[in-house]
Amino acid sequence: SDSSSDSSSLQSGSSPQQQLAVSGNLANLQQQQQQQGPMETEWTLPFSLNCTGSFNGHSASIIHLAVDTTTSSSASRAANALYSFARNGEIRVWDTVGSRCFAQTVWTGDGPNDFITCATLTTIDSNLVSFHSPEFRDQQSLIVMANNRGSLARLSMAQTDCRPPKLLSSVSNAHSGCPVTALAAGCYANKWLLFTAGRTEVRVWRLPQLAPLQHVTNLERDIGAICLAPMSNGAGSSAADFAASRLVVACRNRICLFGRFGLPHCLAASKRHVIVGSAKKGIWVLDANLKSQVACLGPANMPPVRSLACTANGKWLLSGQLDGTMRVWDLRTWRSVQQSQWHRETIDCLQLAGNTAYSGSADATIKAFA
């Protein structure tokens, strides 16, 4: 790994060897939750699980969704762009008001047998033009995708046809040929960074160049998810400050800062909590410093949790299950307040944007809820 001021600033007081010793008993937690009084209604849900729109056109599983609020529209200044990433490398950009696709492209990767494992979208202060169509012009969005061969690519969008995207930069075998299992991008110490996870290591890259800065190896096997957890002291109010904090890594049997939760698959974070969705043991809520277990959510027979999204105020949690069920959780009472099933298959990604929630599924559809 590179030994530079950039890499040393990433330590944030926590070494990769620090382990989380989480105590608590599932049965006791569930009993405590059942003994709570009736749910109070002082908090107002920002959205409901009533489907208000459907985005159709993908032919493969949706693996990631992102909403870009910086996009300007000649037709509607209030319109946001919804990016959707499919397993076959297809990227589509949608008008969230009219549910219409106005840009699309395909990244083929390194060969015909490649498939996309994860993707991310971030905003960088640069003159990069991601895509330009007659209706929308986006000058700040950066797309990074990764595939099963461990390659990374920084892309620009084509227009409304399916021509190959302009490849701005790429890194082959970024994880020695192992699949990249998770991506997280954000501003850290006034620098835009990309965090990538392989099976046993996390690497850090400077954006937008994809320049390597640091890597942490010899982590637990099977890293399932990574995320940037906001600082719990409430410092900073901008979106960049909110993401500039600590890296949380969820491995097979451990969660560490840079427990045993039964194959952690997804993560979400607020200023007060780190939330873990697992394949066998529901949803676990930890305090922001990963010192103690706060609660566990869901009945024992709840299907595996495949995706999570937490509202910006930290009051509500949205979860997507293996059977296509979505649930809204009150993070004060730890109870499910809404549940619905609009997808036929697994919900692999969730995205919250203001008072709208978006879900992407293995059934190749995207739904909007408001």
H/E run at residue 30 = helix 26-34
Cα–Cα distance list, 110 to 58, 153, 160, 190, 211 (Å)? 21, 10, 23, 33, 20
Better-predicted residue by pLDDT, 307 or 151: 307
Which residues neighbour 362 within 8 Å (Cβ) at sequence distance 6 or greater?
61, 62, 345, 346, 348
Mean pLDDT of 142-166: 67
Mean pLDDT of 179-191: 77
By the 8 A CB rule, do 291 and 22 touch? no
**Mean pLDDT confidence for 237-242:** 32
Report pLDDT for 110: 66
- Under the banding of pLDDT at 50, 70 and 90, the label for residue 220 is low
Q: Is the pLDDT of residue 219 over 80?
A: no
Answer positive or negative: Cα dihedral of 53, 58, 64, 67: negative
Given a contact cutoff of 8 angstroms between Cβ atoms, the answer to whether 143 and 104 are in contact is no
- Higher-pLDDT residue of 211 and 1 is 211
Give the separation between CA 31 and CA 198, rounded to whole angstroms: 38
Strand partners, 68: 81
Q: What is the pLDDT of residues 269-294, one digit of tens each?
A: 888 888 988 877 789 898 887 778 88
DSSP conformational letter for 6: H
C-alpha to C-alpha distances, 221 to 107, 225, 266, nearest whole angstrom: 28, 12, 15
Query: Looking at 65-74, 153-162, 234-243, 361-370, which range is the least confident one?
Result: 234-243
**Calpha distance 196→198 (Å, rounded):** 7
Euclidean distance between CA atoms 149 and 170, whole angstroms: 13
CA R_g for the chain? 20
Q: Which CATH number fits domain 21-55+241-370: 2.60.40.10, 1.10.150.20, 2.130.10.10, 3.50.50.60?
A: 2.130.10.10
pLDDT band of residue 189 (cuts 50, 70, 90) is low
pLDDT digits (tens, 9 = 90+) for 190-216: 677 888 888 778 888 888 778 888 887
**How much of the chain exceeds pLDDT 70, in percent?**
65
pLDDT greater than 60 at residue 222: yes
CA distance 296 to 152: 35
Q: Which pLDDT band holds residue 234 (cuts at 50, 70, 90)? A: very low
Q: Which pLDDT belongs to residue 347?
A: 94
How confident is the model at residue 28, as a pLDDT? Answer: 45
**What are the pLDDT digits (tens) for 321-361?**
999 999 999 999 999 999 999 999 999 999 998 888 999 99
pLDDT of residue 263: 62
| Residue 244 pLDDT class (50, 70, 90 cuts) | very low
Model confidence pLDDT, tens digit, residues 5-54: 343 333 333 443 333 333 333 344 444 444 443 333 345 777 678 888 89
Which residue(s) pair with 248 in the sheet?
Answer: 227, 257
Select the more confidently predicted residue: 190 or 316.
316
Please list, residue by residue across 248-277, b when 16 or more beta carbons sit within 10 angstroms of its beta carbon and e when fewer do: bbbbbebbbbbbebbbbbbbbbbbbbbbbb
Query: What is the reported pTM?
Result: 0.72
N-terminal to C-terminal alpha carbon distance within the chain? 45
Q: How far apart are CA 88 and CA 91, in angstroms?
A: 9
Q: Give the pairing of strands 141-147 and 116-123.
A: antiparallel
Nearest to residue 55, comparing CAs of 99, 105, 104?
99
Residue 326: per-residue pLDDT: 94
Please say if the pLDDT value at position 228 is more than 70. Answer: yes
pLDDT tens digits for 89-139? 888 888 888 788 877 777 776 666 778 888 887 765 433 333 334 344 444
Picking from 73, 74, 75, 55, the residue whose alpha carbon sits closest to that of residue 65 is 55
pLDDT higher than threshold 90 for residue 318: yes
